[in-house]
Structure 1
Amino acid sequence: MSRVLEPVSVGTVSLAALATAAWLDLATSDAERAAASTGLGTATALPGLLLAAASVVVLLARPRDTVGRLLGAVALVWTVDGALDSWISYSLANGLPGTDLAYWFVARVGALLLSGLVALLLLYPTGRLLTGTWRTAATGVVLASLALPVMLLLAPDSVVFAAGEPVGSTEVVPFPWSDDTAEAMLRGAQVLTLGSVVAAVGLVWARHRQAAAAERTQLRWLLWAGIMCVLMVLAAVTLAVGGAVTTVLLDLAVAALAVSVAIGLLRPGLGDVDALVAWTLTTAVVAAIVVAVDLAVLAAGTALLGDRLDQRDVTLVVLVLAIVVYGPLRAWLGGLVHRLLLGRRSDRYGAVSALAARLETIGTVDEQLPALASAVADTFKVRHVRVEVITPDGGLLSASHGTPPAEVQEIDIAYQDERIGRLVLPAQGYRSMLSPRDQGLLVDLVRQAAVAIRARLLATELQESRERLVLGREDDRRRIRRDLHDGLGPALGGVALRLQAAGNAIEADPDRARELVAVARTEVGEALDDVRRLVHDLRPPALDDLGLEAAVRQQAERVRSEVDVSVRADGTTGLPAAVEVAAYRIVSEALTNVVKHAGASHVDVCLEAGPAALTVVVADDGRGIAEDVTAGVGLLSLRERAEELGGRCEVVCPEGGGTTVRAVLPYGGHVTDTGHDDEGATR
């Protein structure tokens, strides 16, 4: 109940004050208002009601909110001031009491509205003053804003009211000095209070500089309201029409303030406030140019045609100018202002297509990264962008644009749900604020670049892999040639010579012949061992003799004295030869790494064949791999063996400990084993 009572009270009192002002204005003639030196109280009270509506909305959503309460207090003073302004003329015309009290409030208390504006600027949006050294400055600004209201309470009537105003005594205490002194002090108080408004705006900027991202968005809504207030005041001063038009312009300014404060406090992400600011500035500049063109044309027409340019012709000229000038000028100027303020973030298609065209003409990743950094900086008009990309071997490539600021924000770059790098942008500055639309554009830019960069990295990796394959193949050929030429060839040649010598000596010296045959038999056995070693290097014989599962179990038995190994295999018969060799080598290398480095007590080996790929998993319960450890030759060979078949291999360290090697080896569904149906389920 209490949380509803306060906003309802603010709304009720403000609405009642506006209704009272309207009734009194209707009951008072223009001549009676002129005699009392007052205006329409309704026009004064209406802005207060707008602020009261904002206060009610804020307090209903956030009870006891400091800024909401401040809005309510300002609204009450504003609407009561309007009602009392109407009461002055009505009471003077009808001889009713309370005129002096109404004069006192309107003339001496109404200045508190300026103090309320300063307090709103200093407390929005958190309800607290700035911290640190800025708090002292903010306190001084608050005190300066009270100078005029305090001086108005103390100054004599002869200084506060103009000569001839029908007012009695409104002095609270006798002023101890002369009227000249009081007037000088009043002028000084005006300077202090008006200067406090300027200082408060400066402190809002200081708050924006040190605020977090969410708070800066809230402050940008206040910035938009400030721009609207300045534009409305300038329009009222420039047009100098007075009366109802000026009142409407000022009411629009207050309405913008009330709406922006409520949105900033409750739903700062409701819309793209940056685009709203740019649109407001654009519209204002275009309107000013159109008015200037209108005035120039009318002045030229009047000078040339004189009285022949009647009201109908003036209206026609203004209409034609508005159609011919306003539309194209606004579109061009709007784009120019938006680009100057926020870059090309509004042209989503243009930004993405420009980056795509730029990346197509660049060959290497070292050139693409600076291009991406430059494109993001140009598109979002930020002073610093850093791009970092993780290479397939775990390294890091980076490029920067601009000077790094003290505080940055990081955005991940992903490709097919895999993190391949990050973007680093400034965390401060209004251009660094990213609306939902901006974030969508940034994602599009990064995705476009990620595809190009990833493709280039894969192409580079593929080329390097091909080079390694060619070099490895030639090394294998050189080794086999050397083994055949230097080992097996001479051995077989020696056997042939001994057999020939034995044949020659078989009749003359049988014992010598038998001795030569025995030596030849030994050399043939050694040659056979060399042949077996060469065959094993080309393809492990165990795969042909035993099959993949049994060959892996044989490898597990080889290390069982060091670590306990369990092997599970499913559907591993009939696989392509290249897949079998890659799986066997990956398991062998992984088990070797476990024995050498992991310090594990148990290892699980799992081979599972699916419809189109064989999955190999080797998981141990050892110490894992530290983050600062660079991948060695063994780990790189695991990845290369998988990638040779178009697969992938990853080595991860789960949170529970240990290391898991997981490789996926595709074979395009060419499995000859009849133990699997088309869906890959075991029969």
Structure 2
Amino acid sequence: MVEPVFEERATQKGRAATTAARLSAAAATGYLVVGLGARLATPAADRVDLLASPEPVVGPAMAIVGATLLGRVPGHRVLQLMTLIGCFACVYAGSVGLAVHGFTSGDDPALVFRIAAWLTLWTWVPSFVTFATLLPLVFPDGRLPSRRWRPVAITAVVVIGTMSVLTAFTDVQPEGDQPANPVAIAVPDAFLDGAQTLLDPLVPALALLGLVSLVLRFRRADPQGRRQIAWVGYALALAVLAAFVAPAPINVVVTLAVPLAIGVAVVRYRLFGIDVVVNRTLVGTALLACSALVYVAVVGWLGGLAGSRDSLVGFVGAVAVAAVFHPLYVRIQRAVDRLLHGSRGDPYRVLGRVIEALRIAGSARQALTRACTAIAAELKLPAVSLRIDRPDAAPVVESVGEEELAVHAFPLRWHDGVVGTLRVGHRAGTDGLDPLDESLLADVAAQLAAVGFALRLATDLERSRDRLVTAREEERRRIRRDLHDGLGPQLAAAVMALDVADRALGQEPGRAVPLVATARDQLQVAVADVRRIVHGLRPPALDDLGLLGALQAGGPGLLAGSNGAPDIRIEGSGNLAGLPAAVEVAAFRITQESLTNAVRHAGAGHIAVHLAGDPDAVRIAVVDDGRGCSEKAVAGLGLQSMCDRAAELGGACRVSAEPGGGTRVAAVLPRGGHP
């Protein structure tokens, strides 16, 4: 019960402070208007040049902007300082106009003009010195860069207070024909000279330290903070420097850059987090301008036709404005939302742009880059990053903007797994993503998951092709070794034995008989080697019995002579005849390897093999009741070989655990032999 009470009191104090700031800004601006009116009533020869100081323009701009934004961010110290600086600048400028008018109109000016003259003596201090020393220290978040800067801030506050008191209650700064301070306190000249000697160099030193703190803050800030500091920070630094070294017209123009830079930072980079205020302000301003234009156009046209502008013409103009008001509001709101938030309100447009970017891309990698660019452009996001995870390979990362800003993650889900992550950064000046953004980005991530999966498939295919090329070269090396080291010497030995037997026939016929027998044995061994090599390339049973017959002839014979031999059933359906040689060999080897694994490693008691000859592919299913396989188990050479054989033909091979125990091997081999 205690915490809500304190929160309510804090809210009430914040509202009261905001109301006070707005009333002060309104009063100070009104006072400035009165002073400008008094200036216009002053003879031209006696008027004060408005460009002699920046207060007449900078004052109302900073007072109104600061007081308005305080309603959005109550208690923000930078906005409070802006309002304070603007109010005192307005009071100073208005007092100058009133004082000059009063003292040039007669010899005995009224009390109000004397008070205005007194205000001109000291109100420039809390305006200019605060602007030059204190504002850079706390910009843009209202806090000091660190605790080490507290002495600087305290010194600046003390200097502002001291200078305000001295200029308000002493004659420390009489200028030209300005009347003496009516409330001056008698102070020794030595004290005033010492104070002025101390304060004159202290103010520029504090201003320089303020600029140094701004530079340090800029270097340490994140990219979003740098964007917020850049515009206003540069303008503020130039204005402070120009106030000390530039002549009057130049320093006025440079100081005007500060409120302009604040406007740019507010609209473009959402300084002070006033996204809603900017949205409503732009919509209201544009709607008011368009409504006024419609009213003037209708009234002017009808008035020209009727020759007069009576009440009926005004009524018709009001009706015309009412008729176009809602359509204008809808279109203007949509345009402003698109300016600030991109196409967030039109999800079909965003999805269409992303899909179009994916369609025109030349590769999966280029599709990711184009998708990042499209998302960032359509949603006005500062950073978009796509990461595709690839097994046994480095991830693929494509990004737009500064990647460290992308802190919001959306998984790319495909089937039962996650193939990657979409990361985005929230818009400047906001604390996170809007629910509309999150919903839309989740839909976009679903579209990008297909691209991520395609990239992973391309990587797997490339790796499989590399392994297949390596395996093919190893197979060629093995055949070459068998022919060169095995079959070649055997044939050479047989030839030599026959040569010796041929020479022995004429002189010693008895020696020829064992030599011929030796040659015959060597040739028989060579024939067996040839058969072994040929069987390794393509099993002869495939040509004799076909795919299903070859498997049925060899499969049930596995460990048939041992105790506990498994029960193997091999069945087929569909058209399994006339298969391409590559498909037939791959199906035979995959099935044979599956049976071998089930018998040797899984300890299966029952193994069921089914081959289906579909019109477009051969489907293989090998199911056993063995120990099964773990999803985290590392695939061995046999399993990898099965997957590679299927991938080479454009198919797929998957090994999974059965729900009730055991293992299932499922392979699909296109009949064409290519994807």
TM-score by length of 2: 0.49
TM-score by length of 1: 0.49
